[in-house]
Amino acid sequence: MRSFVNLHVRTEDASGVRALAEQLRTSGLTLYVVPDAPWFSLYDEALEAGEDPAALQEALLAASRLGTAAAFMVLEDEALLWALAAGGKLLYQYQEDESGSSRRRGSLPAGLEPQAVTAAEAGRPKSASVRALAQLLGLHGDHAVVGFGDLLEMDEESELPEEVWIFEDDASAEPELFVNRPYLEEEHAGG
Residue 90: inside a domain = yes
Residue 41: inside a domain = yes
Residue 98: inside a domain = yes
**pLDDT at residue 25 above 80?**
yes
- The total number of structural domains in the chain stands at 1
Residue 149: inside a domain = yes
Residue 185 C-beta-side C-alpha neighbours within 13 Å: 10
Residue 81: inside a domain = yes
Higher pLDDT, 53 or 176: 53
Residue 42: inside a domain = yes
Q: Tell me the per-residue pLDDT of 121-156, one tens digit each, with 9 for 90 and over.
A: 999 999 999 999 999 999 999 999 999 999 999 999
pTM, to two decimals: 0.88
Q: Tell me the per-residue pLDDT of 33-67, one tens digit each, with 9 for 90 and over.
A: 999 999 999 999 999 999 999 999 999 999 999 99
Domain that holds residue 143: 4-180
Residue 69: inside a domain = yes
Cis status of the peptide bond prior to 35, with omega within 30 of 0: no
Residue 48: inside a domain = yes
CA distance 75 to 95: 11
